[in-house]
Amino acid sequence: MREQLDRWIGVGSIVAVAVVPTVLVLMPLTKDEPAGTTGQPGASPAAGGVEGPASPTPTDGPVPPVPAGRNSGTLPDIDTPRTGQGGGGRSSSPAKPSGYNVPADNGARITAVKWSGKTRADVSISSPALGSTQKVRVLVPRTWSTSSTRTWPTVYAFHGGNDTYISWTRSTDIAKVAAAYDVLVAMPEGLNGSYADWHNGGRGGTPKWETFHTQEVRQLLERNFRAGAARAAMGISSGAQGAMTYAARHPGMYKYAAAYSGVLSMLSPGIPALLLFINTRAGQNANDIWGDPVRDRANWAAHDPATLAGNLRGTGVYVSSGNGSAGPLDKGGHAPWDIRYLSESQVERTNRDFVARARAAGVPVTSDFYGRGSHTWGYWKREMHENWPTIMRAIGARKL
């Protein structure tokens, strides 16, 4: 590994980048913080912080693949949404179930929809791109109905590494914030897939997380949940990298992209080695994700938000991060070398590199380098609150 690091980043940078992931892998979830407080791209939280549960609970996590033929007929495991007719108000009687039967182009299908109240549903998707069934948590506005002829502006919110699709509703008040607007919010599972279709030594194949998010989830929600073409992507940590990468790799798909504490310059000095350390775990070759950063540099560049920054012209862009020192939302008792601080300092460095590249390419970027702050949910929740009205204006979601 030492020889590889020498080749990737130069001897002088080895110690600086190696310390962070070494601490990261051993860092337990502290009891005084909500689960799910960090994570950069990969199998473990990137560059540091405190991340959510390593595996989902039986009730909230990914479900096993659905047997063939399960999605035919009336789908008895799909609940009827108790929403009114689209365009306003709620009806005293449930809306008729649509069956959610329309597949994606590649055959991905909705296999179950479990409603919790009138505005939240957990949607199970049988995904050819992943070779498994995964979930998406969906928040619908009170004006929503499957029988409506209209569509709704949609925010796709991506979670951090070592966390799950439940993290946004678990660790923030996004449901309350979204309820004030005529908007649909989709929070898809990302596991530790780094928001990429994996390289796998040039062979490709599963998992294809980018395909799952940008094609399967999008098409299924647009064809079965009335999600509209006015879209925004937002994320924290590795989900922030995913949101910005997707917006840059699919110009025009999203009207707005917001990244809170994400690694946005994957080829900045030392960052490839950092990401490879983070993604190295038992049974997994970190090079399977983007390839070797030297031999397969073109593939790394093809997934690097900073390299692709010019593709973001016409897209609203928001970037924020702290500087990795203890801030007003941090609890005491953590050493300066705690991973939540070390990681955020590296995140800020990549964010500044990204902003410089984007502005040089003529892309207006709104940035908030707010100084003191760590890689934790308190800051991301604050950023969401401040940024949400701008996202709503960008996608034309009116206030209710």
In sequence order, the β-bridge partners of residue 235 are: 158, 259
Q: Are 133 and 64 in contact (CB under 8 A)?
A: yes
List Cβ neighbours of 57 (8 Å cut-off, separation of 6 or more): none
Q: Are 211 and 188 in contact (CB under 8 A)?
A: no
CATH number of the domain within which 204 lies: 3.40.50.1820
How large is the angle between the packed helices 339-360 and 271-278, nearest 10 degrees? 130
**CA–CA separation, 120 and 210 (whole Å):** 24
Work out how many domains the chain is built from and give that number.
Answer: 1
On whether residue 285 sits in a domain, the answer given is yes
On whether residue 80 sits in a domain, the answer given is yes
Q: What are 253-266's pLDDT values in tens digits?
A: 999 999 999 999 99
- pLDDT recorded at residue 202: 96
HSE value, Cβ hemisphere, 13 Å, CA-based, for 58: 0
On whether residue 400 sits in a domain, the answer given is no
On whether residue 69 sits in a domain, the answer given is no
Task: Check whether 365 has a pLDDT greater than 60.
Answer: yes
On whether residue 292 sits in a domain, the answer given is yes
Q: What are 235-258's pLDDT values in tens digits?
A: 999 999 999 999 999 999 999 999
Write down the pTM of the prediction.
0.81
Q: What are 132-176's pLDDT values in tens digits?
A: 999 999 999 999 998 899 999 999 999 999 899 999 999 999 999
On whether residue 68 sits in a domain, the answer given is no
On whether residue 366 sits in a domain, the answer given is yes
What's the domain range around 291?
2-63+74-395
